[in-house]
Amino acid sequence: MTDINFYIPGFLNEFPEFTNYQPWNFLPELSSILLQRIEKTDSNFDVKNGIAIHKTAIVEGNVTLKAPIIIGENCFIGAHAYLRDGVFLGKSCTIGPCCEIKRSIILNGSTIAHFNFIGDSIIGNRVNFEAGAITANHFNEKTIKTIL
């Protein structure tokens, strides 16, 4: 079994549901886990149609959110961002204007600058993506998996 905490310290503290999973099996299960978590959110979240937004988060205008999504405490989502197909943002994450985030986990304090695409990815704590980066798992169909 691959130790995800070796690659992303503290990941299993945030997602204990994945303790017995290989990392490449996390994302196919993400939507169902997010929906379960959304049902259990407390009064610090505004919940509507499978989307939970912490009351301290800022979501600018013209942002498109497609459930399930959890946006954590003190997050910022810039104008024209597009989050879809299961997205988890930990505390104090920044998603810049015109970013697209698809089926991904982005942990605490990470910043995704403007004009980025993050797809089918797990991003650790305090990671910074500058403008125009593209990060996606294009090889999920491979039989042999590796972690970079």
∠ Cα 125 89 75 (to 5°): 95
114 is catalytic: yes
The Cα–Cα gap between 25 and 46 comes to: 29
Cβ atoms of 92 and 74 within 8 Å: the answer is yes
Q: Which of 54, 80, 114, 138 is catalytic?
A: 114
* Residue indicated by tokens 């954590």: 72
First to last CA, the chain: 16
By residue count, the chain amounts to: 148
Helix (H, G, I), strand (E, B) or coil at 89: strand
The set of catalytic residues is 114
